[in-house]
Structure 1
Amino acid sequence: MTARRTVDSPTAPARAGYGALLRTPGAWTFLAPAFAARLPYAMLSLGIMLLVIETNGSYGVAGAVAAVAAVAQALVGPQTGRLADRYGQAAVLLPSVAVHALSVGALIALALGHAPVWSLFLAAAPAGASVPQIGAMVRARWVGRLSDRPAMLNTAFAFESVTDEFTFVIGPVLATAIATQVSPAAGLIAEATLTVLGGLAFAAQRRTAPARHPRVEGAQRVSALASPGVRLLAGSFLGVGAVFGAMQVSVTAFTESVGRGGASGTVYGIFAGGSMVAGVLYGLIGWKRSARQRMLFSYALLVIGCSTLWAMPSLTSLTVAGLCCGLAIAPTLITGYTLVETLVADGAKTEAFTWLTGAIGLGLAVGQTVAGQLIDQRGPSAGFLVALAGSGLGLIALVSLRGLLVAPGARSRTVARGAGTVPAGAQIATAEG
């Protein structure tokens, strides 16, 4: 019998720097195109909202159309993740980017032509469903290359979350600037262009792609979602998505209400910037607490941060509160991805990552829709209550069901260390050799 260390193992290496990570052979060949391909993820929802607000005039309708795209992405994304595990990433990316470009083009044409709202929903659905799951695919590539180096893999997940947040700093600002300075449709045109070019360039990097896991004849294929721990993490990520969705709609409405509509991308970017800074620092720390404990702590900080947003009286105070709230986002996401990697088999890791990404998208859709309705009825500040409600429910689920966040076959044990002990949260997973 041989021991396999998990993220909670007390004997795991304490720290691995970003420099060592980026010197991993072949890393930059997929990281550079991946950044271009994932930047549109932070532009699509806001771009749809800005276009529909301009052509329809209702925050509720704009939030609902953006929500349809997000729901489609959340439901279809994990299926494309499963297909990528089975057939390879390039086989999924090539048709995805083509469908995405056509769907976004149709949505733009319908909105500018003042078509019925139901037709906008029909175009938004395939636009969201075809969003390439680049973040999950990059994480799967890191797992394939670093699975024997747990400390380095943890740093890789931190780096990816920082990259995600960096795109959410740049993406909203870029989408808003293009939409306001050029035209409402131009933001989505830029989004589709980056998706196609970045997606094709990433798909071309086949040497760094993870091994395919084709279906074995007669073998039962079990979804990553069959793991109770994956379902719990996906549920908690719904709450994070609700924060994103409520923030996007509410910040846009708040800046419009004070006559600073063009500042919405900047305010949201500062929120994401706080998360990015926290993510960088998180990856530099050699944590002694278990990943499960860190998840609960960072999620609790997120709830505390969300509790102040609705009461902010000015754009300046809202920006500061958003920055503080954002500090809890990246640590929560990093720890969630770190945990989920230990809960599923190798042939389902891309799918598992995609379920978490999809859960964020689904939560974003719900947050946008509910916040948009509240804003139409009660004013801009009411939308921020959705962020508090979503994160609060996620924390309740995590605290109540935290025992599910243990890798299959893991067992807890207390290890003597001098006169003291290692906390019971440190687990060592064992596997038959």
Structure 2
Amino acid sequence: MAARPTVDNPTRAGYGTLLRTPRALTFLVPAFAARLPYAMLSLGIVLLVLDTNGSYGVAGAVAAVSAVAQALVGPQTGRLADRYGQAAVLVPSVVVHALSVGALIALALGHAPVWTLFLAAVPAGASVPQIGAMVRARWVAKLSDRPATLNTAFAFESVTDEFTFVVGPVLATAIATGVTPAAGLIAEAALTVVGGLAFATRRSTAPALKTPEAGTKRASALANPGVRLLVGAFLGVGTVFGAMQVSVTAFAESVGRAGMSGTVYGVFAGGSMLAGVLYGMVAWKHSARQRMLGCYALLVLGCSTLWAMPNLTALAVAGLFCGLAIAPTLITGYTLVETLVADGAKTEAFTWLTGAIGLGLAVGSTAAGQLIDHSGPSAGFVVPMVGAGLGLVALVTLRRLLVAPSTATRTVARSVPLRPQPAGAASHG
């Protein structure tokens, strides 16, 4: 399979053109229902455990265990989807997820020992369907010959991700507080099952399976150093998400305006959504690698001002500029990973990037919380600056790894006796 040129086709492709792609809506609609719970699970766990146990520490720890399990196991399910097909992985995943969430709810309501909550949280997180990665893999299968439209598709997916992370927590909170704390998780599991199964039935738009030749071994997308570099970069982006959530809340409480934390974080997320929409409408002439370095540098610049903001208004403005760099960075990362890996490893590669964000979110929120406890609310904003700064250093230092390999190196089915070139992988936005 020939490597794609590093400079994208300058022809502009709009969102209308994208959504008119034959059969696109048949998988986009159920995919939205299935990916919305992705942003509901952690908060749903916190609200339920807090109500039944009364400890913020326990509630946060159970949610963190679920998030880590999701980040570590998700890429493995992505690899299985590449090998056996998306439906073959989705159906058992949603069943295990529903059973695990049900067990977690029952244990919490029954005031079971805390260790049992952790035990149930592991499969609940590990079985979250990787719908975002699967949707991106479907776009690649349909638009591989139209790079400009594919870039718009990645922008559309990043905006969708941002939207779900704005709507999901609000929905989970409204249901949990308006009905019962357990209802938030019940709704999360129901949406996962209904949306996941509906998405799985849209087999006609799923990527074709790439069967390895006899006597060959399929390599992991993570074997490619370019993929590992992007995973590290996305880990840095995840720390920005996690630290912002905790730090904005703490800063708002410290100035006596706790209710404004959601608004300030919403400005941050809104900036990312706006930038993602506009980014997907531009006919870029620079290579994806150049855009990745530029977007990530802007992210670091935005994060470097957060700690010095004197009030909530200034923090909201700084958060807006920081958010403007988020979606373009993620979109470009997914574009890069698509050019680095062969067809038989794309879902896994996308999932590694998504998992890195989740893991970074857990690390960022934990580190920011520790700094806030010891040094005050503004100290938490040091975490996104450091996390993103380290990601930029890695990208600049190792940028040569982000060049698409030659035809010979893009194969993932390789002979066992030989020591082949590693298959590449990248991330999504």
- CA distance in 2 between counterparts of 1:192 and 1:83 reads 22
Change (3 A) 1:267 1:33: farther
Identity %: 82
Deviation, structure 1 residue 260: 5.5
Aligned-residue Cα RMSD (Å) equals 2.3
Aligned-residue offset at 1:137: 0.3
Q: Do structure 1's residue 291 and structure 2's residue 288 form an aligned pair? A: yes
Gapped regions of structure 2 (runs ≥ 5): 408-429
Choose which of 343, 353, 356 in structure 1 pairs with 2:353: 356
* Alpha-carbon distance change, 246 to 180 in structure 1, aligned in 2, over 3 angstroms: farther
Q: Give the SS at the match of 2:216.
A: coil
User: What's 2:344 paired with?
Assistant: 347
Letter of the structure 2 residue corresponding to residue 9 of structure 1: V
Following superposition, the deviation at residue 154 of structure 1 comes to 1.0
Label 1:29 to 1:192 Cα distance change in 2 as closer, same or farther (>3 A): same
Normalization by structure 1: what TM-score? 0.87
TM-score by length of 2: 0.88
Q: Contact 1:37 / 1:196 at 8 angstroms: preserved in 2?
A: yes
**Out of 42, 47, 56, which is 2:44 matched to?**
47
Correspondence for 2:136 among 130, 139, 145:
139
> Which residue of 2 is the match for residue 239 of structure 1?
236
2:385 matched to 1:388? yes
1:85·1:348 contact (CA, 8 Å) conserved in 2?
Answer: yes
Stretch of structure 1 that moved more, 290-299 or 210-219: 210-219
Aligned residues: 407
Q: Is the alpha carbon distance of 1:382 and 1:345 closer, same or farther for their aligned partners in structure 2, counting shifts above 3 Å?
A: same
Deviations 1:240-277 (A, max 9, x none): 11111222333344455556556554443332221111
Q: CA deviation at 1:383?
A: 2.9
The residue type equivalent to 1:327 in the other structure is L
- For 1:149, the aligned partner's letter is R
Q: Which residue number corresponds to residue 367 of structure 2?
A: 370
User: How far apart in 1 are the matches of 2:391 and 2:283?
Assistant: 26
Unaligned runs of 5+ in 1: 411-433
Contact 1:239–1:394 (8 Å) recurs in 2: yes
Matched-pair contact (CA < 8 Å) for 1:69–1:129: yes
Distance 2:368 2:71 in 1: 19
Tell me whether 1:206 sits opposite 2:203 in the alignment. yes
SS at match of 2:217: coil
What is the correspondence of 1:62-77 to structure 2 with a 5 Å cutoff? 62-77=59-74
Structure 2 Cα separation of the partners of residues 102 and 269 of structure 1: 33
Quick check: 118-127 or 376-385, which moved more? 376-385
Alpha carbons of 1:42 and 1:263: their partners in 2 closer, same or farther (altered >3 Å)? farther
Give the residue type in structure 1 aligned to 2:38.
Answer: Y
Superposed CA offset, 1:328-373 (max 9, x none) = 1100000000000011111111111111111111111212222333
Alignment match, 1:85: 82
Matches within 5 A, 1:316-331: 316-331=313-328
Q: How far is 1:127 from its partner?
A: 1.2
Residue aligning to 2:7: 9
Q: Say which SS state the counterpart of residue 35 (structure 1) adopts.
A: helix
TM alignment of 1:408-427, pairs within 5 A: 408-409=405-406
SS at match of 1:288: coil
Contact map agreement 2:7 2:286 (CA 8 A) in 1: no
Alignment CA distance shift 1:234-1:332 (3 Å)? same
- Pick closer, same or farther for the CA change 1:279–1:232 going to 2, 3 Å: same
1:306 CA displacement: 1.9
1:123-272 pair list within 5 angstroms? 123-256=120-253, 264-272=261-269
Q: Shift in Å at residue 200 of structure 1?
A: 1.1
Distance in 1 (alpha carbons) for counterparts of 2:332 and 2:111: 44
Aligned to 2:413: none
Looking at structure 2, the residues matched to 145 and 348 of structure 1 have their Cα atoms a distance apart, in angstroms, of 16
Partner of 1:102: 99
